[in-house]
Amino acid sequence: MQLPVYSEDGTEAGREADLSETVFGIEPNEHVVWLDVRRIQAAERQG
């Protein structure tokens, strides 16, 4: 999987990164992402 590389200001850097399809080619599980966001927010509230 080839994806463009971006610089810090958001413009394309003119090169691509080769990422593993087995790692980055999955369909994200939205419920798991939501659970992790809630975990992070709860930890921030605790101080």
| Mean pLDDT (whole number) for 24-42 | 95
Lowest mean pLDDT of 15-19, 24-28, 36-40, name the range. Answer: 24-28
Q: Is the pLDDT of residue 47 over 90?
A: no
Q: Over pLDDT 70: what percentage of the chain?
A: 100
* pLDDT value at residue 31: 98
| Mean pLDDT (whole number) for 5-29 | 93
The predicted model scores a pTM of: 0.50
- Do the beta carbons of residue 2 and residue 18 sit within 8 Å? yes
Angle at 13 (CA atoms; ends 29, 18), nearest 5 degrees = 50
Q: pLDDT tier at 14 (50, 70, 90 boundaries)?
A: very high
